[in-house]
Amino acid sequence: MEDLKEAKHWIGGEWSTAGTKRESINPATGEVLKTFEPLTKSEALKFVDKAHEAFGKWRHTSFKARKAILIKFAALLKNRTDELAELITLEMGKRISESRAEITFCAQIVEFYANGAGEFLSDHPLEVEGADAYIQYTPIGVLVGVMPWNFPFYQVVRFIAPNMMAGNTTLVRHSSIVPQCAEKIGTLLQECGLPEGVFTNLRIPHEFMEPLIAHKHVRGVSLTGSEAAGSSVAALAGKNLKPTVLELGGNDPIIVLEDADLEMTIEMAIKGRMTNTGQSCVASKRLIVVEKVAGAFLAGLKKGMESMKLGDPMSPDTDVGPLSSESAAQKLDEQVQKTVKAGATVVLGGGRPDRKGAYFNPTILTNVTPAMPSYDQELFGPVATVYVVKDEDEAVRLANDSSYGLGGSVYTSDPKRARAVAESVDTGMMFVNQPTYSQAELPFGGIKRSGYGR
C-alpha cells in the first residue's frame, strides 16, 4: 500500500514487531521529531471488537447528542488552528498558510454534517399502490479508513464526520509519515466527549490490513491513496464481501481554449498545479492548450512559476515548500529524468535544488509523448506538463487519453461551450474557470483507475 520503514516479517505464523517504530520526520530539515510504537496485530484486532461494542450504543445515540459532540470538535479545530496547522507543516511540509486553510476547512466539513445529518438521513417516503413504504437510512457498523498524508486532517475528517453522524464507528489507519497528526485527531475527539471506540487511530503497518478487513465486525472500507493501495484493499474487501469507497490517483487535465481570459487562466493553472507543492490527487497536472494561445500561456506560466520562492514552509514568504519526504522527492526526480531522457523538453526547472530537505524545483515540461514514462503517470509534485493542441476536439481527445479520471477543468469565456466541453471529458468532476477543488456540499470522487464511490 505504501513504502513503509516499519515493514513486518512473517515469523512462525505471527507478525514480528522488531524494528517497527513509526517516525515523524520534518521533510524541510530531515529532523526526526518523534517516534511511536506500533500496535501488534492482536492489539489492533481488539480495537475492532471495542469499536463494534461502541457501535451497539452509538447507533442508538440521537442526532442531537452526536451533533453536540461534533460541534465541540469543530470549535476545537477553530480555536486551535495555529497549533494544528504547525503540526501539519512540521510533519509533511505543507506551507503554513495552506495548513491553516486545511484546518479551517475541516471545521466547515464537521459543521456541515453535524447540522445536516438529521435532514440528509431522514426517512424517504415512496409512493406504492396499496401500501405505505419508505426508505430508512441506518448505520452499518464498524468502518475502516485508510488515509493519506497529503491532507492529514482533512482526509480523516471527510471520512469520520459523516459516518459518526450516521451512527457508524470508525477505525483509521493513517499514513506512517504523519503519526502526530493522527494522534492529535484522536486526542481532540476525546476532549469533545466522544465515547471510547467510536473513533480509533490504528498505528499499524499495511500487512495488518488483511486480518483487519477480514474481521467479522468490519463492515466496509474507505481508502484514499495510490492505485496499488486501492487495488490491494479492494481485493481483500471483495474476498470478504465488504463494500469499499476508493479515491486513488489522478492526472487531471485543464483545457485552455482560445477565448479564455489568459491572465486569470495562468493564475488558476499555477494555483491548481502548485497548491500543496503539487501533492494533490486533483492537482492540475496536464495543461492542454490550443495552439492559438499556447505561446502566451506558456510564457506566462513560466514567468509565474520561476518567480516562486522555495523555502521554510513555516515562513509566510515561502511559495514552495518541501515534498512530504526524501523518498517522495527522489521518486519525482526519477520520473522527470526518465521523461527528459526520452525526449521531453525542460522549459523550467527539471531537478532538485542544492539545499537541505526534500525539495524539488518548480518544473515545466513540454513535448511529452505517449511513449514517455510520465505521459500517463501521476507526477506528485511541482511539475507541470504542457501540451499544445490544434483545437477543442483534439484537447478533449487528449484529456480523455488517460487511465485516470478524477477531476479536471476547462477555461473559456463562453458558458455554453464550457458546459459542452466539461460534459465531454471522461472524469469524475469537472470545473469551469477554476481548478478542481473540494467543498463540503459537493460529492468528491473519480472513475476509471481513479477509484469509485463518492
Other CB atoms within a 10 A radius of the CB of residue 311 amount to: 18
Tell me the Ramachandran region of residue 130: left when phi exceeds 0, alpha when psi lies from -120 to 50, beta otherwise.
Answer: left
Q: Which residue is catalytic, options 6, 91, 106, 281? A: 281
Q: Which residues contact 131 (CB under 8 A, 6 or more apart)?
A: none
Q: Are strands 14-15 and 10-11 parallel, antiparallel or unpaired?
A: antiparallel
Grid coordinates given for 178: 504523519
Grid coordinates given for 426: 471522461
What values do phi and psi take at 154, rounded to 5?
-60, -45
**Which alpha helices (DSSP H) does 240-341 contain, by range?**
262-274, 291-306, 326-341
Closest CA to 51 of 220, 248, 243, 303: 220
Residue 111 known to be catalytic: no
CA angle 334, 336, 338 (to 5 degrees): 70
How far is 146 from 164, CA to CA, in rounded Å?
A: 16
Other CB atoms within a 10 A radius of the CB of residue 352 amount to: 17
The Cβ-side half-sphere exposure at 259, using a 13 Å CA radius, reads 8
Other CB atoms within a 10 A radius of the CB of residue 60 amount to: 10
The Cβ-side half-sphere exposure at 70, using a 13 Å CA radius, reads 30
Grid coordinates given for 352: 532538485
Q: Which residue is catalytic, options 6, 91, 111, 247? A: 247
Cβ pair 103, 77 in contact under 8 A: yes
Residue 281 known to be catalytic: yes
**Which alpha helices (DSSP H) does 362-449 contain, by range?**
392-400, 415-424
Residues designated catalytic? 247, 281
